Amino acid sequence: MRRKLIVNADDFGMCVGVNTGILRAHQTGIVTSTTLMANGLAFDDAVARLRDAPRLGVGIHLVLLGGQPVAPPSDVRSLLGPDGTLPNDFGLFLRRLLRRELRPAEIEIEFRAQVEKVLAAGLQPTHLDSHKHTHAHPQVLDVMLRVAESYGIRSVRQPHERLTFAPLAGLRPGQTLTFIKQKASTLALTRYAADFRARLRTASVRTPDAFFGFAHTGLLNPALICYILRLLPVGTSELMCHPSEMDDTLRHYPTRLKASRVRELAALTDARVRAEITRQNIQLVSFAHLDHCDEPRTTDHAR
């Protein structure tokens, strides 16, 4: 079997700079897929720009952390902070989830509202993933799978990364500590990996065979991308990325990924990366490819 790669840019719709960067990374780089934030500040701008990108696969970046809910606030009270927004604190989210303070029924209401907003915009989503990988947790995954089946969405992100694919290639001075923190987060997520695979075996959705980009969130550069390309396993893999151009909204947005997004845009459009894809005979695809392939629905590559 050939090696195939989905290059998915997260956070489409977050702001105009992110939208511009993702479309540039698709049109002049290697991005084949993106996931749209239904509660993003630039959702309408993102939808309008898709007219110029008919080959870009578009999924939904389901959001439980940060921003306004799409559902009526009165219907999702357990998900909201005192200010009526979705708290942008993963640690708090996880603690509240473990204490059963977040109601699964309200998570489902919010997820359905986000999917409905994307469908109402005339888009047919290729897949689902989630902001900050909240669906790695079994409680959230169960809701996501119900929503995917209900709307006939046939693919989801498999967010568990092989830690053997964790080089330091091309890191800038001062980025090693960030890498160590990201690698620790990746390792922490593996506690849910076996349960994730077990649930997917009986679900009516597909996932890519392998996933990359979590341990290197905010760190991708041409050398690192080329390293990953050379070691891709047989089958279909996903590389997560966060390209953007800088704008005032991003400068003030509550995210640690700011200048790193601009660097990722440069890396994803770098001629050396495109040349390595050709050299390695890697086929670039989107999540739509999973609906038409004969590969296994799930694998154990994430172990």
Sign of the CA dihedral 79, 82, 85, 86?
negative
Q: Assess contact for 17 and 247: CB atoms under 8 A.
A: yes
User: How far from chain centre, in Å, is Cα 48?
Assistant: 21
pLDDT of residue 218: 83
SS3 286: coil
pLDDT of residue 257: 87
Measured between alpha carbons, how far is 248 from 3 in angstroms, rounded to an integer? 39
pLDDT of residue 271: 98
Residue 267 sits at the vertex; the CA angle it makes with 13 and 127, to the nearest 5 degrees, is: 40
* Model pLDDT for residues 232-250, shown as the tens digit of each residue: 999 999 999 999 999 999 9
Which of 111, 114, 294 is closest to 206 using CA atoms? 294
What residues are paired with 238 via a beta bridge?
A: 6, 211
Which of 203, 200, 208 is closest to 234 using CA atoms? 208
* Model pLDDT for residues 267-303, shown as the tens digit of each residue: 999 999 999 999 999 999 999 998 766 443 333 433 3
Which residues 6+ apart lie within 8 Å of 213 measured at CB?
Answer: 161, 220, 238, 239, 240, 241
Which of 5, 6, 132 is closest to 57 using CA atoms? 6
For residue 101, pLDDT over 60 is answered with: yes
- pTM of this prediction exceeds 0.75: yes
pLDDT of residue 248: 96
